[in-house]
Amino acid sequence: MTTVHEPTATAAVTATSAHLSVWPASATETRRGDLTVGGVSLAEIADRFGTPVYVLDENEVRDRCRTYRHAFPDAEVLYAAKAFLCRAMAHWIDEEGLGLDVCSTGELELAVTTGFPPERITLHGNAKSPRDLDTALRLGVGRIVIDSPSEIARLAAAVGPDGRQKVMVRVVPGISAGGHEKIRTGTDDQKFGLCIADGYAQHAIARIVDQPQLELAGLHCHLGSQITNVKPYLAAVRRMVGLMARLYQQHGLILPELDLGGGHGIAYRSGEEALDLTTLARRVRTELSDACAAAGLPVPRLIIEPGRAIVGPAGITLYRVLSVKRTGSHTYVAVDDGMSDNPRPALYGARYAPRLIGRHSTEAPARVTVVGRHCEAGDIVAADAQLPADVRSGDLLAVPVAGAYHVSMASGYNLVGRPPVAAVRDGIARLLVRRESLEDIRSRDMGL
């Protein structure tokens, strides 16, 4: 493990500076142009673990978990594992008192075999396999979110005549919200959930009520991702409570839980808007109380599922520059990975702000396009990035806000191998996930 002393006050600028606003709170800048995160030099991490490498600030993750628990003291906070999960992450989430939201057997088994309490786990998924359901029941998950009518009979049969499983129903409230059309999941006519507008949600709920093996604990909705405005959540509260009122009138049901999902937007570049968590908590609490009072219902326990907002700002990706090419009006800075370690720019047009580290440059910034090494024209790490005009081969680049949907969506394109994950805390760096080697890739190939 590497131990690095904190820079002196005259040699560092704290992360409160505007140019470090999207970096972990522990980020400090030294005179030589390097950055330290968690008390560890990013240049030293690159030297020790090689590049590309993901870096995760453990204290940033923990602090963000505590921020959620403080903002929502009466709610249950579930970390959305799809953003990023490894054994260490499951351990941190457990220690900070959050529950876990998983959507596959792989996520579920990794968490439980790490020691995460299964009763604090909720299983999601629009197309759960028989293995997913059997594993969830065998391990004793707290809730299973029903996403389609066909799951009702299958799950009841799997539970058996003497068992009982707590379930929720994923409802589509008909609300459009999110940073890109491909990550909006609250609108009608898409693959997730059951719609209120066409009556499918109400019909599924009636069927669940007739299954003694299934205990309907509440309703669930998820509007999308990268939502930076509170208003869609308030609209969701009103529609969900409206449905709960109709269920009470029709079936005498009083549901004790309401899950509003996650999708809380974060800033990827300085100056971008992020969802105000304090405002969200205050206004959702008020809206829920008022709507339930108007409907004559008790206030259900609120559940929320942040993922990106907890781990996204805690992560950094380090790259080595392989080449700089000037052609026409563009300068292309090519690095040693790309869309296989972060497909978000290609999928959603996500925008990042890479930074030169490891050396100090006095050159003025120039507009460049940082690209990856893969055989795709869309393999872009950061379009319209600002880097010193003298950026050159061998330089190190650091990309902040890389903690969510980088590792979890990484692929084996071009058989490059997925990068390792290192954690930093209190001046110490340690490996959480090793680099995928060529031997790993070869071992999966069964030959001719």
For residue 12, is pLDDT > 60?
no
pLDDT of 315-331, one tens digit each? Answer: 999 999 999 999 888 99
Q: Is the previous residue joined to 173 through a cis bond, with omega within 30 degrees of 0?
A: no
Q: Does domain 72-306 have CATH number 3.20.20.10?
A: yes
We find that the CATH architecture of domain 2-57+313-444 is: Beta Barrel (2.40)
pLDDT of amino acid 188: 52
Span of 2-6, 52-56, 103-107, 275-279 with lowest mean pLDDT: 2-6
pLDDT of amino acid 234: 96
**DSSP category for residue 280:** H
Domain ranges in the chain with CATH number 3.20.20.10: 72-306
**DSSP category for residue 104:** S
| Averaged pLDDT for residues 387-416 | 96
Span of 1-5, 176-180, 247-251, 303-307 with lowest mean pLDDT: 1-5
Catalytic residues: 375
pLDDT of amino acid 266: 96
Q: pLDDT-derived band of residue 157, with 50, 70 and 90 as boundaries?
A: very high
DSSP state letters, 201-227: HHHHHHHHHT-TTEEEEEEE---BSSB
For residue 255, is pLDDT > 90?
yes
pLDDT of 418-447, one tens digit each? Answer: 999 999 999 999 999 999 999 999 999 998
Q: What distance in Å separates the CA atoms of residue 221 and residue 262, rounded to the nearest whole number? A: 9
For residue 192, is pLDDT > 70?
no
3-state DSSP helix/strand/coil percent for the chain, to nearest 5? Answer: 35, 25, 40
pLDDT of amino acid 178: 56
Q: pLDDT-derived band of residue 177, with 50, 70 and 90 as boundaries?
A: low
Q: What is the bridge-based pairing of β-strands 257-259 and 40-41?
A: unpaired
Ranges of H-type helices in 115-220: 130-139, 150-159, 200-209
For residue 145, is pLDDT > 90?
yes
pLDDT of amino acid 181: 54
Domain ranges in the chain with CATH number 2.40.37.10: 2-57+313-444
Sheet with 28-29: strands ordered across: 28-29, 35-37, 40-41
In the block, residue with structure tokens 């580290």: 357
- Residues with Cβ within 8 Å of 447's Cβ and at least 6 positions away in sequence, in order, are none
| Averaged pLDDT for residues 53-65 | 98
pLDDT of amino acid 332: 96
User: Which helix (H) or strand (E) is 253 found in, with range?
Assistant: none
- Residues with Cβ within 8 Å of 446's Cβ and at least 6 positions away in sequence, in order, are none
Q: pLDDT-derived band of residue 11, with 50, 70 and 90 as boundaries?
A: very low
pLDDT of amino acid 3: 40
Q: What distance in Å separates the CA atoms of residue 51 and residue 10, rounded to the nearest whole number? A: 30
Query: What one-letter code names the amino acid at 391?
Result: V
pLDDT of amino acid 1: 39
Q: pLDDT-derived band of residue 138, with 50, 70 and 90 as boundaries?
A: very high
Q: pLDDT-derived band of residue 176, with 50, 70 and 90 as boundaries?
A: low
| Averaged pLDDT for residues 404-417 | 95
Structure tokens at 60: 């940033």
Q: pLDDT-derived band of residue 182, with 50, 70 and 90 as boundaries?
A: very low
Q: pLDDT-derived band of residue 225, with 50, 70 and 90 as boundaries?
A: confident
Span of 54-63, 94-103, 193-202, 285-294 with lowest mean pLDDT: 193-202
Cα angle for residues 329, 332, 338 (degrees, 5° grid)? 145
% of the chain beyond a pLDDT of 90: 82
Q: Is 284 helix (H, G, I), strand (E, B) or coil?
A: helix
Give exposure, 160-195, as e/b (b: 16+ Cβ within 10 Å).
Answer: eeeeebbbbbbbbbbbebbbeeebbbbbeeeebbbb
pLDDT of amino acid 224: 86
pLDDT of amino acid 200: 85
Q: By C-alpha distance, which of 297, 317, 312, 331 is closest to 399?
A: 317
Sign of CA dihedral 402, 403, 405, 409: positive
Q: What distance in Å separates the CA atoms of residue 94 and residue 262, rounded to the nearest whole number? A: 19
Structure tokens at 275: 């969802």
